[in-house]
Structure 1
Amino acid sequence: MSRISVRGFAVASATAVTTVGAVVGVASGSTAQPAEAEATASDATLLADIPAGQQAQVQTSSLEQQAQTQAIAADNAAQKTAEEAARKKAAEDAVAKQQAAQEAKEKAEKEAKEREEAKKAASRSETRDASSFATQSSYSVAQIQAMARQMVPAGQFQCFSNIVNHESSWNYRATNASSGAYGLFQALPASKYSSAGADWQTNPATQIKWGLNYMDSRYGSPCDAWSFWQANSWY
């Protein structure tokens, strides 16, 4: 029997059932409606009306749509994960670069400081100490300046000289009548010079030694001391 004949048979049967039900209902006074029987027959007809191949296609289409939806959701999730990982990696790289730059800066500053200290040490090793000069009863400005040139590093001498010029004009016996400041550097109190030698009152080399130590320890160098003096008119 063909698919068409089956469908026709189902329709005819449903019609017959509907008709008989209607007649019986009228005869017996039943309130049942013919539409109910027709609906039941129609459902049976619709189920039988869809070929098996088309049912498979409908199911396959539904599965493909579900798979496509899941694939889109998976792609979106993967993209979100990748973007988050990229942002995290960029932040970590930025922190690493900043840390590397800071470490490089600190290293460069340390090396520069070490070179400066080595340079100062080398300069001092080439200078003479106050005790290496013969003691005299008096000293001229030229003699005192010659001493200073041999005791002060060459690159610092001009700054050193500028301060002495302003403080005492290279007079190792210069005394401030009002304050008592004394010597080449107008030390106050004057007894500060004693840390460099007991002959500080009469020996300019001892005063130069004290002045150079003072500038190095307080400011770092005579040129740093001179920079401070220019800004404040004292040091």
Structure 2
Amino acid sequence: MLQNTRALRRASDVAEARAAVTSRRPKWIFGTVAAGVVGAALTVGLVSAPAAGAEIPDAVADVTSFVTGSPQPTGKSVDDSAITISLAEDAMSAATALSSEVAASGLDLAGAPAAVDTTDLTAWIDRLGDRDDLSAREVTSLTAYTVTGTDEIVAETAALQQAYAAAQQRKVAEEQAAAAAAALAQANTVEGAKATARQMMSSQYGWGDGEFSCLNSLWTKESGWNYQAYNKNGGATGIPQALPGSKMASAGSDWQTNAATQIAWGLGYIDRAYGSPCSAWGHSQASNWY
């Protein structure tokens, strides 16, 4: 029965503390309490002027004592402890929720702690919850420990959130890089290179299927549409067999590894030198080069 009474009192203290922190209506609360004190005093005929120099009693303690018939601890220490417990429990809830989310994500936090340890703070809250059996000094000490522990939990939760956000960003970057690599690998195949050339020559030069047929014949002869093609005799490089291959750097710094960059350079060269792929193909048939 005693344990149940303590638990109920602790729950009541925490609930009142949360309400006080949230409502931010101290004047209204004070007015209500004061009215209750006066009303109770009038009911039992206890209203009397205090003697000169007498200490005015704590209104909350008087009402509580009158209603319950039992003496109460100092009101301020009870309120401070309840508020401390309330804030600490909120901090632990946030830390526990974030730790669970991080664990479920399976993300690598690059060496950062993957969870917030709330063991010590839980112990201090439990001890502070049984403050009716503690001395004022012990309550003060435990309250200080709980406040410090709460601050540490809040800081560790913020650090975990930051590490978690960084891990999420790394995952997105890795996925994007993987997608780009897969797209590049596809574009660097023979069929991928042909599809890129068909789209590029149509959108940028207005050349249709007939011109693509000539281009296909030309670059099949030159390199087989292999972006890694290299002529050991002359040094011609890539799908369009640029000589030297470094000329293609004007179309992009990735000219050695990206078929699309080679194609962009090759189409530009054909346009400048021959006007169209079919003209270039005709020259190649006649001269064996273009």
Superposed pair shares fold, TM > 0.5: no
Larger radius of gyration: 1
TM class, shorter-chain normalised?
Answer: 0.3 to 0.5
TM-score by length of 2: 0.34
TM-score by length of 1: 0.41
